[in-house]
Amino acid sequence: RFGAHRRYGARHHKPAARRLRFENTSPAPARKLKIGYVSSDFRDHPVGRNLLPLIANHDAQAFEIFLYAQEESNDAISARFRAYADHWIPAGGFGDAGLAQRMRQDGIDIAVFLAGRFNLNRPQVAAHRAAPVQVSYHDCATSGLDEMDYWLTDDLLHPEDTAEQFTERLYRLPSFYQFTLPDVGPGATPPPISKNGYVTFGCFNKPEKISDRVFAVWADILAQVPDARLALKYRNLYADQGLRDGWLRRFIAAGLAPERLQFLYGDDGLADHLGLYGGIDIALDPFPFNGATTTFEALAAGVPVIALWGDNFAGRVAGTLLSQIGAADLASASVEDYIRTACALAGDEARMASLRKNLGGQLRRSDLCDGAAYAKNVEAALRDMWRQWCLVRG
């Protein structure tokens, strides 16, 4: 995988970028800094909801914030980004070299590239050296670009002995993730087993994450919890009859009765979507590509999430979130433990009720929902990166 990322970086490498010296940039370590964030997700989107508390809490005396928006949006989250930023620059009309030049003209000191190659994001702009310091943020792997200087993470996502490889230097925050709590949701309702008489497992992740291996593990869990159901949802994707039929065939081939599989769809708004967690007793997280937003949403609704620790960023997200709210025992180091943990919880209605009552509060009191503290930590990281550049420049 690292080789593929390196090849990507080599394709986009710009030798001229290495000759840029930013001679007119003051190397004063304590001065006010211009921070440029580049993203297509300054809107109602998982990355946007994660970033918003940071932008909202930036120290205006120490940082001037530029948002380079690849996509225009008129939703409420986008309006808040516009209000919090010092400068809003539509970026969709710029090519990569042109946007990098615009950022240099704006005097950006630190460029932060959001979500790498997801959606319409612009990591290739970094290859043109848009700023003296360049940071990858919320990507799922290395950019592969020699011109990208840092990659933000934390000690749980990337322990010191991580085997994952990067072209960037890892910079570990006290806590990487930050979330905006939804204003709507099912509230602290009793687990549905109390009225249904059976456990409902659920997964609201993309179907692509549910590999044959994941499905086999879930089939094993359902075989050991004979009355349990499995509910699947991802937006309104399961409205497609062909997709539902494919899942039913897999279910039957695994020796499971088709009536134990439920498909959820037909909701249009966030309140409807989050309300469906009220019908889930236990969420099953896929692997090796975990859910981030789905884990957060489930925990906010008091739904416990069963997770498996992986060996890279994408496979350590759910375990990290669980650990940060004091629920690390729900994350397992092996598939066997994952199965045991799911089955044990399914057989303990009292514990399910306790988790349902307490998980939401644990989340709200955690660092994951402290935007002011998070902003200070990110600002300290950016300031440290800047000092390092000033030392080299000096």
pLDDT digits 0-9 by tens, 339-358? 999 999 999 999 999 999 99
pLDDT digit string (tens) for 190-241?
999 999 999 999 999 999 999 999 999 999 999 999 999 999 999 999 999 9
Low-confidence spans in the chain with pLDDT less than 70: 16, 116-119, 267-268, 394
Task: Collapse the DSSP code of 373 into the 3-class scheme (helix H, G, I; strand E, B; otherwise coil) and give the result.
Answer: helix
Judge contact between 205 and 305, C-beta under 8 A: no
Amino acid at 200: T
Domains identified in the chain and CATH numbers: 2-178+370-393 (3.40.50.11380), 193-368 (3.40.50.2000)
- Count of beta carbons in the 10 Å neighbourhood of residue 112: 26
Fill in the DSSP letter of residue 189. P
Quick one: pLDDT at residue 210?
Answer: 96
Judge contact between 242 and 209, C-beta under 8 A: no
The candidate with the shortest Cα–Cα distance to 296, out of 372, 385, 230, 362, is: 362
Helix (H) / strand (E) element for 272: namely helix 270-275
The tokens describing 218, both together, are 């879930």
Q: What is the pTM of this model?
A: 0.93
Quick one: pLDDT at residue 322?
Answer: 99
User: Across the chain, which distance is largest between two alpha carbons, in Å?
Assistant: 70
Return d(Cα 221, Cα 239) in angstroms, integer: 26
Quick one: pLDDT at residue 121?
Answer: 74
Instruction: Give the strand pairing for 133-137 and 63-69.
Output: unpaired
- Facing residues of 67 across strands? 37, 88
